[in-house]
Structure 1
């Protein structure tokens, strides 16, 4: 759902000018975006235990460095949000793009692409046009994708631990992995959860409306899920949206206010630090793909105010979990150091959601860092996110490292 709202709101912000002058990164792949700014990039395959083939991108060092085997570069793995992919951390130029900032700061950066996203639509047997390919939710991402990516990163680098940075749904996947597979806690030095998702039950604006509709139409939703199975939520933006957007864009001032109002309704108070010239790039890389089951699972979590495995039906639940109801994720098993970085103006995952659920489920020594004035999107696209979010994260990491590369 996040990616659908993202698509609509940022499409509404598209300049009324024609394609001439559009940012060239709007037409680039993630590796091309990385190379454009002078960073090295590697592409690795990650094969999960259930056969999905994920693209794992690596930025081994920054623009001002050279490959140096004697230089200590701590490893960072970025985990993207719902309906997005690794470009989420590459949308801004190096001065404010999270992955670039970490690479230039001396870290060995990896970016996962979860199953079903633009760069991970491969399987050893299944094809993307098979419904079975799309029978997954965050359960499978946390059970298969993230553990496989962590193991691959450790294999490539020869290191014993990594730093993990999640955003939006990527934070939820991280919590789930460390809960159901506690052995992975020892493989991470710390987990930075940016825009952390707990249940989203206390979300506001359009998210609140969507979750209300899920509750109201649950019998219909259940029939749809059982009868039709799971399939891809389209990457494309519906034609009707595009036509409505044109009307918005071509009406001076009024159109702008409608656009800003839509962002306010979806993600929180409009950011004052969005680079409008980059909007075509944002829109071309988001949304990426996900499954209908995944969207329904997230709605289930919001509805029940608890993070449980996907509720299929009593019979299938018995087959999957050994009980008629889906088991909850036990956050008490998370032992890795956790930093929550969140914004009070984030309507997708609110401060109330963090206080009433997340902080109660996690152990007491979790660090909670509020970024005043930030909504759900600002953490990765605000022009001042380097100084307000990513540079402070770098400093926290540096204090834990001895003799790492200066750059």
Structure 2
């Protein structure tokens, strides 16, 4: 990606994040789960740095009421929230499908989203509230959610992430964090290396959130199988807020094509934070080779490009063969994995089979 495209991307995403507060947002339990006939619980989790995160739990399915169900955490992508897993009807949305298939479903919401706007001492109007990047989601948010779910259920977790939610898992596992609490992880549209993201990406993001989502997603991120009515639900919940610093960090990844800690843009500042003049890289070859992984990716995805996914897979070339499952769909783009009409048969059924074999 060239410098102009990266700069445009940053400007667009900052604007999208700034207007996110205009979204009308009842509680997800009330607006998107209970209306479908499911029991839903709202939970609050406090991170070690004071952010108060909202989580939604679907403890049982509509028919199955069995106890001691295995917990699964669903983690959304950038500028989204837990609504990601609820866009379609119950037989086509992953959260409902998992609940109806015997899982205790937990849905996380990153700091800054409507459900996770609280803090023990800061207001969302304070600049200090927004002083974070996805690294704090790795170091603080995700561990807090894991610990809370584990304390509630006394079981290890299954993890499913989409887009940015996959980066949080990969970065955590590469530091051997949360591994001992994870039974297996499913990564849909993995975001790790981004060197192949094309210059259409900024325009795709701009138009997706700020203009006609149907037209642009067909042009630049041609999701193959999404109903027009699903886009309307999508726009009721997106974009969600994130921090300027997080957008800068992501743009650094896009420009450099690697996964590194935040670059303060000054050697002395980097030295102060890291003890070296450049930000340390995340080494994905350090991901434990025996953690079960399911990776779903698509040939039409302009955000999680196949060449970038292949670079990730090269990092996993020594992974135990029976612990790595790949699900590739040539006509699938980024949002098909969470919104497509046929995602149940194409993605979720294989994902369920993967989770069940790791029980």
TM-score bracket for the superposition, by shorter chain length: 0.7 to 0.9
Match of 2:161 in 1: 166
Matches within 5 A, 1:34-49: 34-49=33-48
How far apart in 1 are the matches of 2:199 and 2:267? Answer: 33
Could you tell me which runs of 5 or more consecutive residues in structure 2 were left unpaired when the two chains were aligned.
Answer: 1-8, 17-23
Q: Would you say the 8 A contact 2:214–2:228 is kept in 1?
A: no
Q: Would you say the 8 A contact 1:206–1:265 is kept in 2?
A: no
Cα 1:358–1:184 shift into 2, 3 Å: same
The Cα shift of 1:345 comes to 0.8
Q: Would you say the 8 A contact 2:10–2:248 is kept in 1?
A: no
How far apart in 1 are the matches of 2:282 and 2:345? Answer: 34
- Superimposed CA distance per residue, residues 144-166 of structure 1 (whole angstroms, 9 cap, x where no aligned partner): 1111111111001111x111100
Cα 1:260–1:56 shift into 2, 3 Å: closer
The farther-off stretch of 357-366 and 127-136 is: 357-366
The answer to whether structure 1 residue 393 and structure 2 residue 351 are counterparts is: yes
Cα 1:208–1:288 shift into 2, 3 Å: closer
The Cα shift of 1:28 comes to 4.5
**Partner-residue secondary structure (3-state), 2:90:** coil
Q: Would you say the 8 A contact 2:226–2:341 is kept in 1?
A: yes
- Which residue of 247, 254, 257 maps to 1:302? 254
Match of 1:255 in 2: none
The answer to whether structure 1 residue 84 and structure 2 residue 38 are counterparts is: no
Cα 1:118–1:90 shift into 2, 3 Å: same
Cα 1:60–1:75 shift into 2, 3 Å: same
Q: Would you say the 8 A contact 1:84–1:287 is kept in 2?
A: yes
How far apart in 1 are the matches of 2:330 and 2:342? Answer: 12
Q: Would you say the 8 A contact 2:194–2:258 is kept in 1?
A: no
The answer to whether structure 1 residue 141 and structure 2 residue 137 are counterparts is: yes
Cα 1:4–1:153 shift into 2, 3 Å: farther
The answer to whether structure 1 residue 353 and structure 2 residue 305 are counterparts is: no
Q: Would you say the 8 A contact 1:2–1:82 is kept in 2?
A: no
How many residue pairs align between the two structures? 333
- Which residue of 331, 341, 348 maps to 1:373? 331
Q: Would you say the 8 A contact 2:284–2:315 is kept in 1?
A: yes
The Cα shift of 1:45 comes to 1.3
Could you tell me which runs of 5 or more consecutive residues in structure 1 were left unpaired when the two chains were aligned.
Answer: 9-25, 212-236, 246-258, 402-407
Match of 1:98 in 2: 94
Match of 1:29 in 2: 27
How far apart in 1 are the matches of 2:167 and 2:305? Answer: 14
Match of 1:342 in 2: 297
The answer to whether structure 1 residue 281 and structure 2 residue 236 are counterparts is: no
The Cα shift of 1:368 comes to 2.4
How far apart in 1 are the matches of 2:12 and 2:217? Answer: 12
Q: Would you say the 8 A contact 2:190–2:304 is kept in 1?
A: yes
How far apart in 2 are the matches of 1:82 and 1:139? Answer: 13
Match of 2:147 in 1: 151
Cα 1:210–1:169 shift into 2, 3 Å: same
The Cα shift of 1:264 comes to 3.5
**Partner-residue secondary structure (3-state), 2:64:** coil
Cα 1:61–1:3 shift into 2, 3 Å: farther
Match of 2:56 in 1: 57
Q: Would you say the 8 A contact 1:185–1:334 is kept in 2?
A: no
How far apart in 2 are the matches of 1:389 and 1:210? Answer: 24
The Cα shift of 1:183 comes to 3.9
Q: Would you say the 8 A contact 1:196–1:340 is kept in 2?
A: yes
How far apart in 1 are the matches of 2:11 and 2:172? Answer: 22
The Cα shift of 1:186 comes to 1.4
**Root mean square deviation, CA, Å:** 2.5
Match of 1:17 in 2: none
The Cα shift of 1:329 comes to 0.9
The Cα shift of 1:277 comes to 2.1
**Partner-residue secondary structure (3-state), 2:304:** coil
**Partner-residue secondary structure (3-state), 1:119:** helix
Larger RCO (CA within 8 A; separation ≥ 6): 1
Match of 1:193 in 2: 187
TM-score by length of 2: 0.86
Cα 1:194–1:270 shift into 2, 3 Å: closer
TM-score by length of 1: 0.77
Match of 2:5 in 1: none
Q: Would you say the 8 A contact 1:30–1:90 is kept in 2?
A: no
